[in-house]
Structures are given as C-alpha cells and as structure tokens.
Amino acid sequence: MKTLRPAVLAALALVLAALAACGGSEEPDDADDADEPAPAAASSDDPPVEPAEPGTGSDEPPFPLLEGEPCRAEVTLTGAVEASWESEGAVALGGKVAPTTYESADGRRVVTVYAAGSGFEEASVVLADGAERFGTLGGAAGLDVDPGGAGADVDTDVVTLVDDTETVHVTASFSC
C-alpha cells in the first residue's frame, strides 16, 4: 500500500480546519423566540425522519467554498467518479500559513488544487465528492500549478484518502 505524503495530509488538514472554523458560535437570542409558536409535535402516523449525513444525498458542496479572485475552470473526472463541468472557480493567493489555492465546484463535487510553497513541498490535489475524499499521492506527476495565482493545469490521478482503493483521474485547467 502506498503511503500518503505530508503535502496531501497537510492539504486535507487545511480543508478540515476550514470546515471546523465555519461552525457557528453565536448564541441564540431567546427574546426573538418568545413571539414564535412552538413547532408542532410529530404524530405517530408521521414517517420517521432520518438525519442526512453531511455531503450525502444533496447537490450542495460538502463544505464552504474558497473565497478569492475569480478564475475560469474546466474540470473532467473519470474513473470512480464521472463528471465534467466548466464554471467560475476561485484562486486565493498563498502567504505564510497556506499555499496558493485554486478551487472549482459542481454541486457536491469540489476540486481543490494547492501550489507548492508555504509548507507544501509539492503541488497537490484534493477531490471531494460528497462525503468521499480523494487526494494525490506524493510525487504525483501532471501538476503545473502557478504559485503566483495565474493558473493551474492538472492531469493526474487521485485516490481515496482513507485506503487508496479507488482512483479518479482529474483533468483540470484554471485560467486566472
């Protein structure tokens, strides 16, 4: 079994940190709720409602998308995930804490490309498909990512981050 390189793990850590930072910390204002009627209780005739797992069963991105300058993105996924789209993506220039990052989404599918730099020894790609996550293995070929934010060209494979048993080929072009 191939091992994941620190760059991919760091990219995943950044994504997870962004998700954790998006949790609400505002306390509800009970005064606003005083005028609202209480919700109706469910009757025994109502079918049970199962809570949805985040990122599954919906056509929404599984996490908040990158905020940055607009880019034109063209993405094609083949293999374990099949999809193709053209959309406005985004680029966020790197700094001391994070590398330059490019991102494009189509519903629940999000492709995030990290440039080398700011602690990343090499460029990497993470694909989110609902709750499933894929990433490049260390030393992946086919990543031409401008750390200055001008664009990125990707033609590489990503594997499931948990056990690298499924592969998706990512072809993407970001023009910024």
| Alpha carbon distance 150, 17 (integer Å) | 26
- H helices within 22-128, ranges in order? 30-33
How far, in Å, are 100, 112, 117 from residue 11 at the CA level? 11, 9, 12
Token pair in block for residue 97? 């804490």
Per-residue pLDDT of 115-170, as tens digits, reads 988 778 899 999 999 999 999 988 899 999 999 999 999 999 999 998 889 999 99
| Alpha carbon distance 33, 66 (integer Å) | 33
pTM above threshold 0.75: no
* Residue 108: pLDDT band with limits 50, 70, 90: very high
Are 135 and 3 spatial neighbours (Cβ–Cβ below 8 Å)? no
